[in-house]
Amino acid sequence: SQLEADLIAALGRDEIAIVYQPQFCTKTGAMVGAEALARWEHPTLGRIGAGAMLAIAERADHIGQLSRHIVRKGLLGARDWPLHLNISLNVTSADLATRDFAEVLADAASQAGIAPERITLEITEQALVIELDRSAQRLQALADRGMQIVLDDFGAGFCNFRYLTMLPLTGLKLDRSMIENLGEDSRDLAVLRGIVAMAQALDLSVVAEGVETESQRAIVGAEGCVKWQGFLGARPMSADELASFMGD
């Protein structure tokens, strides 16, 4: 299709932009890192989000190439960050199916001068269902290099609790649907509490995403989430915008 051809051209023309959304420590309020999010600035259609872009790449059999591009660009854009800041990258099933993904990531990190310990990989359940054993092995190789591995969108989707013990995870990232009604619906608070207790028993740290209000921020902090991310703190922004955000 035209879109598939456009995407292949976009990789060469540098139309794939990476934006970064800051993450904050719930205890101190300090910025502790940012999540890299990819967007396609299509010359005529305008902005295409990561989900649609990845689906097009998958159809065109270019997902590996797109992922490598995003990982390299995302890490390079973080090369001048202060050393205490972490960078989160999103990982798909196609990435985990790629034999040399760990090398690609490690090479990109070393070129950007970013220690593996500063990298968090956010994996969605969708990324795992394909072949759980193989995904677990691939993630172990990345964990062995020192990267953090977080299960993304936790609490949405099918939520297979087996993943929690089968995978070399360091944390959970709560889906924003779990945060949305905190403060209004006491049942959501009960669910949050239960999940944080379970995570703590498993030695997993919990990140809350989609935090939009001060009340939500206060609750996730009080309930033991170590980091939060959301429009209350900052929207996703370009590397340049992030530099001035950090400078303020």
Residues contributing to the site for ligand G (CB under 6 A): 21, 35, 37-38, 49-51, 54, 70, 90, 92, 152-153, 176, 209-212, 230-231, 236
Is 6 a binder of Na ion (CB under 5 A)? no
Phi-psi bin for 94: left (phi > 0), alpha (psi -120 to 50), beta?
alpha
Is 122 a binder of Na ion (CB under 5 A)? yes
Q: How far apart are CA 156 and CA 26, in angstroms?
A: 22
Please say which residue, 4 or 212, places its beta carbon nearer to ligand G.
212
Check if the beta carbon of residue 189 is closer than 8 Å to that of residue 211.
no
Please say which residue, 19 or 83, places its beta carbon nearer to ligand G.
19
Q: How far is the CB of 152 from Na ion (least distance, A)?
A: 4
Q: Pick the stretch among 5-13, 89-97, 161-169, 233-241 that binds Na ion (CB under 5 A).
A: 89-97
Please say which residue, 106 or 121, places its beta carbon nearer to ligand G.
121
Q: Pick the stretch among 71-79, 88-96, 138-146, 180-188 that binds Na ion (CB under 5 A).
A: 88-96
> Can you list the alpha helix ranges (DSSP code H) found in the chain?
2-13, 50-59, 63-76, 93-97, 101-111, 132-144, 162-166, 186-201, 214-222, 239-247
Q: How far is the CB of 74 from Na ion (least distance, A)?
A: 12
SS3 (DSSP) at 51: helix
Exposure string over 156-168, b if 16+ CB within 10 A, otherwise e: eeeeeeebbeebe
**Paired tokens of 54:** 């990845």
3-state secondary structure 203-242: CCEEEECCCCCHHHHHHHHHCCCCEECCCCCCCCECHHHH
Please say which residue, 54 or 142, places its beta carbon nearer to ligand G.
54
**Paired tokens of 36:** 């890299």
Is 90 a binder of Na ion (CB under 5 A)? yes
Binds 212, which of ligand G, Na ion, none (CB < 5 to 8 A, cut-off by type)? Answer: ligand G
| CA 222 centroid distance within chain | 23
Q: How far is the CB of 90 from Na ion (least distance, A)?
A: 5
Please say which residue, 8 or 50, places its beta carbon nearer to ligand G.
50
Is 175 a binder of Na ion (CB under 5 A)? no
Binding residues vs Na ion (CB under 5 A): 90, 122, 152
